[in-house]
Chains A and B, each alone.
Chain A
Amino acid sequence: MRVALFITCVNDTLFPGTGRAVVTLLRRLGCEVAFPEAQTCCGQMHLNTGYPQEATRLARHFTDVFAGYDAVVTPSGSCAAMVREQYPRLARAAPGPSFADAVAETAPKVHDLPEFLVDVLGVTDVGASFPHRVAYHPTCHSLRGLRLGDRPARLLGGVRGLELVPLPGAEECCGFGGTFAVKNPAVSAAMCADKVHNVMATGAEVLCAADNSCLMHIGGTLRRQRAGVRVMHLAEILAATEDDPGTGRGAKAGTGSGTGAGTGAAR
Chain B
Amino acid sequence: MTRSQGSRVPQGSQTSQSSQEVQDSQNSQDSQNSQGSRDRILARIRAAVAGAPEVPVTRSYRHRVPPPAGGTPGEAVELFAERVADYRAVVHVVESARAAEVISGALARRGARRVVVPGGLPEEWARAVGAHPGGEAVPDDPPLSAAELDALDGVVTGCAAGIAETGTIVLDAGPGQGRRALTLVPDYHLCLVRAGQIVPGVPEAIAALDPLRPLTWISGPSATSDIELDRVEGVHGPRTLEVVILR
Question: Do A and B contact each other directly (Cβ–Cβ < 8 Å)?
Answer: no
- B interface, CB within 8 angstroms of A: none
Q: A residues engaging B (CB < 8 A)?
A: none
